[in-house]
Structure 1
Amino acid sequence: MFLEKISLSNFKNYEEATYTFSPQVNCIVGENGSGKTNLLDAIYFLALSKSSIHHQDALNINHESEFMLIDGIFNKKDRTNQITCSIQRGQRKILMHEKKPYERISEHIGQFPVVLIAPDDTELIKEGSEDRRRFFDGVLAQMDNEYLNDYQQYNRILEQRNSLLKIFADRNFIDQDLLDTYSDPLVKLALRIYKQRRSFVDTFLPIFKKHYLVISEGREEVEIIYESEVASGEFPQEFRLNRQTDVRAQRTTKGIHKDDYVFEIDSYPIKKFGSQGQQKSFVMALRLAQFEMIETLKETKPILLLDDIFDKLDDRRINSLIESINNNTFGQVFITDARPERTQKILEDVKAEVKYFTINHKHKPVDF
C-alpha cells in the first residue's frame, strides 16, 4: 500500500499544492517553517481523518479561508482508492471514499494505516497519562474497528454523564434512576475496553522489547506496566459506591479514562532515570512495535512518516534505520529534513527509489 498523489487546498499554510510520490522513499526538504511537517500532517489526516497536531479540525484551515480540502489517491493491492476530506468552518467534517461519503468516519480508520515518528515523541514519557492513553488508543483504533467503536461510545456516554453530574451538583439533588441510564452502559464498556487493552499490551510487549533490544544493543531491560482501576474484580460495585464523590467532583472519577501505562527501564521509571538516548530508544521501539503489529494484523505495511528525526538520532540509530529500509522492513517512507545535503548523504546508500521534494514558500515541489 502507498500514497500515489495528494492535493491540498487551504490546508494550514498551503493554499494550493499537488504532489505525486514515489511508492518507496520520499524526502521533503526545506527551511524551517516552510511547511514540511504540515505536508506529513496532511498525509496523516487523510489516513486517519484527523491531524496529529491539532485536536480541533478547524485549526487546520488556512487562516484566511473558510474551508480546507485534502484529496489523495492510495494504491492498495493494485487498486486505487480516492479519499477526500473537506471541512467548512462551522460545519461537520466530510470524508469520502471514491466521492461517496462514509456513513461513519470510523469505517475509514485502519483502511490506510500510517505510523508517525516525530521529534516530540518523547512527550509520551515526559507528560501525563493522557498522552500515553492517546498513543495506545491510536494504535488499537487502526487495528480493531470494534475497539474504536467501543472507545468512541464510551467517551460519548462519559461526556453525557459528566454533564448530568454537574446538573446534580448545581441542584443538590441526584436522580439515581436517571444516573443509572448512563452508569450501567459506561461500566459495561469500561470492562470490555479494559479486556481489549489488556490483551493488546500482552501481545505488544514482547514485540516492543524485541525492538528495544536491537536499538539499545541489549544494554538494559525495559517494561510497560498497564495500570487500570477496572482490573479490580469489584469495579462495578466500586463505581456505584463512588457516586457521591463524582457529584462533588462534577465528573466521573473512576473508569478506563484514568488508565495509565507505566514505562520502566531496569525496574525504574524511565521518566526520572532514563537518559535522553534511552528515552529516544524507548519511543523508537514503541513506534516500530506499532508498525509491526499493524502490518501483521492488516497484512500490509503502514506508511511510515519520519518528521525531522535526523536531528534527534545519533549515527548508530540512523544506520539502523537505513538498514531497515534496505531490508524492505518498511513500505512507503516519508522523511522531512531542513538540511537537504545531510539527507542526501544519509540516503546515498539506500537501495530503494528515492524522490526528493523541496518545499519553498509557494509550496511547490522542486526535484533535485
Structure 2
Amino acid sequence: MILKSLSLINYKNFEAINFEFDHKINCLVGNNGVGKTNILDAIYHLSFGKSYFNPITSQNIRHTSDFFVIDGHYEKDERDEKVIVSAKRGQKKVIKRNAKTYDTFSEHIGFLPLVIISPADRDLITEGSDTRRKFIDGVISQSDSGYLSTLLKYSKIVSQRNSLLKYFSANNTFDPTQLEIYNLQLDEFGSIIHKKRAAFLETFIPIFINRYHAISSGQEEVSLSYQSKLSETSLSILLEQNLAKDRMLQYTSVGVHKDDLSFEIDGHPIKKFGSQGQQKSFLIALKLAQFDFIKKQSNVNPILLLDDIFDKLDEKRVEHIIKLVDDQNFGQLFISDTHADRTEDVVKKISQSYKIIKLENGHA
C-alpha cells in the first residue's frame, strides 16, 4: 500500500499545499513550527478519521477558516483509492472513499493500516491506564472490526449503568432488577473483549521483546504484562462484589474499562527506572511490534510514520532502527526531522529510494 499524493486545504498551519511522495522513504525536514508533524498527522487522519495529536476537530481547522479538507491518493492491491476527510465548523466530520461517504467511521478503520511513532507516545508510559488501553484497542481494531463493535457496545452499557447509579443516588432509590440487565450485557461484552485482548497480547509480547532486543542490542531485559481482574474471575461476580462500592461512587468501578498494561525494564517500572533513551527504545519497540502484528493480520505493509525519531536516542540506537526498516518487510516510510543533513546522511545508507521534502513556513 502506497500513499501517492496528498493535498491539504486549511489543515492546521497549511492554507493549501500538495505533495507527491516516493513509494519508499519520504523525509520531511525543516525548522520547528513549519508543519512537518502536521503533515504526518494529516496522513494519520486519512487512516483513522481523527488527529493523533488533537481529537478536537475544530482545532485542526486553520485559524480564520471555516473548514479543512485532507485528500489522499493511494495505491492498494493494484487499485487506485481516493480517501477524503473533511470538516466544517459546527458540522459533523465526513470521510469519503472513492466519492462514497461512510455511514460510520468504524467502517473505515483498518482499510489503510498505519503505525505512527512520535514523542507524544511517551504518554503510554507517563499517563494513566486509559492511554494504554487505547493502544491495545487501536491495534486489535485495525484487523478486527467485530472487536471495535463490541468495544463500542460495552462502552455504551457502562455509560448507561453509570447514569442509572447516579439516578438511584439522586432519588434515594434502588432497583436491582434494572441494574441486572446492564450487568448481564457487561458480562457478555466484557468477556469477549478480555479474551481478545489476552489472545492478542499472547502473540504480541514475544514480538515486542524481540524488537526491543534488536534496538538495544540485548543490553536490557524488558517485560510487558496484561493486568485485568477478569483474568481471575468473571465480570458478573466482580460487579456483584463491588455493588456497594459502585452505588457509593455512582459509577462502574470494575470491568475491562479498568484493564492496564505493566511496562518494566530489568524487573522495575520503566516509568521510574528507565532512562529517556530506554523509554524511547521501549516505545519504538512497541510500535514496531504493532507494525508486525498488523502486517501479519492484514497481509498489507502498514504505512510507517516516524515523527522526530532522532530525539533522545544515541547514534547507535538510531542506526539499529534504520537497519530494521532497511528491509523489504517494510513498506512506505515517512520521517520528520529538523536537520536535513542528518536525515539525508542516514537514509543514504539505506538501499531504498527516498525523497527529501524541505518545508518552510507552510510551504514545500
Where on the TM-score scale, by shorter chain, does this alignment land: which range? over 0.9
Give secondary structure in 1 for the equivalent of 2:317.
helix
Give secondary structure in 1 for the equivalent of 2:278.
helix
Amino acid at match of 1:55: P
Partner of 1:114: 114
1:131 CA displacement: 1.5
Given the alignment of the two structures, is residue 57 of structure 1 paired with residue 71 of structure 2, yes or no? no
Distance in 2 (alpha carbons) for counterparts of 1:55 and 1:166: 28
1:127 CA displacement: 2.1
1:182 CA displacement: 2.6
Given the alignment of the two structures, is residue 4 of structure 1 paired with residue 21 of structure 2, yes or no? no
Partner of 2:211: 211
Distance in 1 (alpha carbons) for counterparts of 2:194 and 2:139: 15
Partner of 1:364: 363
Distance in 2 (alpha carbons) for counterparts of 1:113 and 1:168: 44
Partner of 2:252: 252
Distance in 1 (alpha carbons) for counterparts of 2:110 and 2:312: 28
Check conservation: 1:30, 1:340, Cα contact below 8 A.
Answer: yes
Instruction: Report the CA distance shift for 1:170/1:199 in structure 2 as closer, same or farther (over 3 A).
Output: same
Greater alpha carbon shift after TM alignment, 189-198 vs 69-78? 69-78
CA-to-partner distance for each residue in 1:292-351, whole Å, 9 max, x for gaps?
111111111110000011123211122122222332231100011112122122222222
Amino acid at match of 1:59: Q
Greater alpha carbon shift after TM alignment, 227-236 vs 290-299? 227-236
Partner of 1:294: 294
Amino acid at match of 2:282: F
The correspondence of residues 1-368 of structure 1 with structure 2, limited to 5 A, is 1-361=1-361, 363-365=362-364
Give secondary structure in 1 for the equivalent of 2:18.
strand
Check conservation: 1:18, 1:364, Cα contact below 8 A.
Answer: no
Return the TM-score normalized by structure 2: 0.95
Return the TM-score normalized by structure 1: 0.94
Amino acid at match of 1:321: I
Unpaired segments of 5 or more residues in structure 2? none
Greater alpha carbon shift after TM alignment, 229-238 vs 44-53? 229-238
Distance in 2 (alpha carbons) for counterparts of 1:95 and 1:327: 33
1:213 CA displacement: 1.5
CA-to-partner distance for each residue in 1:114-151, whole Å, 9 max, x for gaps?
11011232331222211211111111111211111111
Greater alpha carbon shift after TM alignment, 194-203 vs 148-157? 148-157
Distance in 2 (alpha carbons) for counterparts of 1:46 and 1:81: 12
Q: Give aligned-pair identity as a percent.
A: 44
1:212 CA displacement: 1.2
CA RMSD of aligned residues (A): 1.5
CA-to-partner distance for each residue in 1:40-72, whole Å, 9 max, x for gaps?
000001011111111222221223222221111
Amino acid at match of 2:334: F
Distance in 2 (alpha carbons) for counterparts of 1:297 and 1:79: 20
1:21 CA displacement: 0.8
Give secondary structure in 2 for the equivalent of 1:9.
strand
Distance in 1 (alpha carbons) for counterparts of 2:155 and 2:332: 33
